[in-house]
Chains A and B, each alone.
Chain A
Amino acid sequence: MIRFEQVFKRYPNGREALSGVSFSVESGELAFLTGHSGAGKSSILKLIALIERPSRGQVIVNNQNLSGVTRRRIPHFRRQIGVVFQDHKLLHDRPVSDNVALPLIIAGVPKREVDKRVRAALDQVGLLGKEKSRPLELSTGEQQRVGIARAVVAKPKLLIADEPTGNLDPDLARDTMQLFKRFSEVGVTVVVATHDVHLIEQFGARRITLSAGRVVATS
């Protein structure tokens, strides 16, 4: 599903975030990207979501070489993947249902279908009944789950998450990881970047450890 081949990423300020990274994640796999902050976890996720382009090397996602995806085609490409952010990135002036519906509306799904799928996604993350709430009326954990519902509502084959448990207490963090595990069990490829090594030890999933822009261990 994801393949990195000798990927280098140097930012305009001269910092080299990735230095020859190669790894692959199979379809339907749950994989954790770990390492200290600054090790290159976020850079990898940004390359997968085409928020950044590699300086050198190949990134292949869902059988597409991303170097062949032109700027015009980026929106279409992003609709195939779900992204969860540490800071949720919700629209605070819209109710929960609108936030979750956004990817479907962008994809042009008919309204009746949208309502159905929004409810299904909220049900999956345990937020059914909160459709009308505004994001700021919810707890951090609930906001995070709204973000997850939005990421999965369009049924992507690939779900990526950047430090999704960064702001959560241990119990909530475990629940959230459990949620990602469940998605992977139904065939979604899930890549989670996290520095919380203790948490992921409980899951026994694939681990890709980064340090200073290099892959130092994979399991």
Chain B
Amino acid sequence: MRAYFARHAQTLIGSLGRLVSQPFGSAMTMGVIGIAIALPLLGSLLLQNARLATSNLNTAFDLTVYLDKKAGSARTQQLAKQLRLRGDVAQVRIISADEAFAQFRNDSGFGKALDALADNPLPDTLVVTPTLDASTPHGTETLKSAIAAMPDVQAAQLDTEWVKRLHAMLDVLKRVVLLTGALLALGIVLIVSNTVRLDILNRRAEIEVMKLVGASDGFARRPFLYSGIWYGLGGGALALLFAAAAGAALAQPVEQLATLYGSGFRLQGLGFLTAASVLGIAALLAWAGSWFAAQRHIREIEPA
């Protein structure tokens, strides 16, 4: 049994030596694998970070309630009072039409041009913050429809609509990443399969000799399966390198962007577990590719 493992270890090292002895060809194969893995890997990292960046926005569900212009400020106060009594409302802030107009006049840059207007076109507005318990998509939705049904309410708008849309987009993107990943995985299997096939044909004479002195198909196959695993590990390592480089290149601009949005968000890199599974998956795919080639072509080679 020990001899068996020693033999496997020897073949493992031997196949690595063979790859090192043809650095250019091996590097090309590994490079292709690396790129094929780096693409979906970067895609999933992007998704993961986008989710992380928007997850804290999810809890800040504020509802903006636009009132009927004809309602008047007394009615506004009354509505605010009514809303404050609700169990699922934490806070109600009133932005009167005058306040809103003054702010708009300041911020919009239209300034004096707005003075030409005969009267203020803006309605009174209530900003309703739900309680923490009610800050779920369902809870806010219930609150929103309840408010919308109240008299003198023109419209109730959830400020987080765009977050929902973003999440829907992220879901679509996730599918795209998964699909691309599946296609590229198939690509890796095919590439390694073809590389190993050429490898086998190049060493046809050697395989013949091995079979003549009693090697089984399995024995002749073994070094090729191991070189497949090496291709995978090399390609996986390259993919991690690509991803790390892309992360480093993006870290600063993302930080800047986050700061502009007043967020402390920082780009999350690859965890150890992700890195390990990238290597594992790469090795597995490449092994599968070499297995297909070896299974088929080693059987065909018979001494004559």
Contacts and interface: CB of A to CB of B under 8 A. Distances in A.
Nearest to B217: A75
Interface in B208-254: 208-217, 219
Interface residues of B, number: 21
Nearest to B299: A71
B304 interface: yes
Nearest to B211: A75
B113 interface: no
A159 B39 CA distance: 57
B206 A106 contact: no
Contacts of A106: 210, 213-216, 219
Interface string B278-303: 00000000000000000000000011
B6 A51 contact: no
A88 B303 CA distance: 14
A49 B208 CA distance: 13
Interface in B1-42: 2-4, 6-7
A102 B210 contact: yes
Nearest to A113: B3
B3 A78 contact: no
Contacts of B211: 75, 78
B7 A108 contact: yes
Contacts of B214: 75-79, 103, 106-107
A90 B303 CA distance: 14
A157 B55 CA distance: 76
Contacts of B217: 75
A79 B213 CA distance: 6
A103 B304 contact: no
Contacts of A85: 212
B304 A83 contact: no
A76 B7 CA distance: 18
Contacts of B7: 105, 108
Interface of A: 49, 51, 75-79, 83, 85, 89-91, 102-103, 105-111, 150
- The 5 lowest CB-CB distance pairs between A and B, nearest first, are A79-B214, A78-B214, A75-B216, A110-B3, A103-B213
